[in-house]
Amino acid sequence: MKTQVVIIGSGPAGLLLSEILHRHGIESLVLERQTREYVLSRIRAGVLESTTVDVLRANGLSERMDREGHPHDGMRIAWAGRDSFLVDTASTLGRRFMVYGQTAIQEDLYAAADRRGQTVLTEVQDVVLHEFDGRPGAKPYVTYTRHGQAGRVDCEFIAGCDGFHGVSRRSIPESVRKEYEKVYPFGWLGVMARVKPLPDITYVNHPQGFALASYRNSQLSRYYIQVPVDDKVEAWSDDRFWSELTARFPAEMAEMIETGPTIEKSIAPLRSFVSEPMRYGALYLCGDAAHIVPPTGAKGLNLAVSDVFYLSRALASWYGQGKDELLNNYSAMALRRVWSSVRTSWYLTTLLHRFPHFSDFDQKAQEHELDYLKNSRFAQAALAEQYAGLPFEMVS
């Protein structure tokens, strides 16, 4: 087979990229290691920055989101013994967020791919990237096996959208790659329950550990608590979880939390990770293939969308006008936004969690940082700008 762009991975980054490229008349083929059912079953974040909402709307992918999504104005922060406060992105920046689950976005993207007849090969194994290093005369291609049969796709560009454990990033020579990583000494136990959510997305700092109230819709709540990184889901009954969660919220908020049977429960470790560069020859990385952020700032999916925005714009410039400037600048431009989000996620994680190694000094400094944030409109404006996500870099 032959195509212009091979996209490895059919998650949100891969299918969104294929959709936007199609709108620019650029052919692509998507390779996916898992089954379609597996991809659609993954539970992920659902807080969309205004720029992500704009990208979905601009590419005809917002009808269901605008119907079922829930706009909100910011994030509420609470901590033991203190009043909560709202970091209001709407009044500060004039920008609102959208609560709309990644699973729903994935469904929308597959539906759009089906409508246009996009080729998505699932259950693909043994993917190997060839001749993509940019040497003169090199002609990129990808080989794989599927259902026991060998396959090959010749192409001009390769987009690695296959996540942290995918083959794309690892195909870049170690002598070229520079990786930055911070592993946090705790994880998040998250549950989904068909109960009415709290009015605001609320982050809680408590002596027993961090907690978070989020939601997917008016009758589907998502809650998290900080747990030791080696904890097991089996140790957490529903009763134990709800008791621990409500203990961490201020009393007036705890009384508002509805409890019920959980429909999903998992523990996720927290890490910050960035791999540079995000471009090597004809290979371009997008999303988790290049970076991981703690979920504290709800940045993962939004960063994947910004990567896709920059890469699709660069490819459209190349195929439409023969200009390679945006392709050459893709890595540097994407990484500026990545590191901004990495910093915000790191800041919120440090601010809101109880670290096992914290000294009395560390704890006092954290508490006074929260006090400063509560009482300074300038500090809140700075956090609102970072939490909301910076606007995309424009080009003339």
Q: Has 71 been annotated as catalytic?
A: no
Give the angle 375-380-384 at the CA atoms, nearest 5°: 165
Distance CA 286, CA 307 (A): 5
Q: Has 265 been annotated as catalytic?
A: no
Q: Has 295 been annotated as catalytic?
A: yes
Which of 224, 291, 295, 353 is catalytic? The answer is 295
Q: Has 72 been annotated as catalytic?
A: yes
Which of 206, 291, 299, 353 is catalytic? The answer is 299
Distance CA 169, CA 129 (A): 11
Which of 144, 184, 203, 224 is catalytic? The answer is 203
Which of 12, 72, 144, 330 is catalytic? The answer is 72
Q: Has 374 been annotated as catalytic?
A: no
Active site positions, annotated: 72, 203, 295, 299, 387
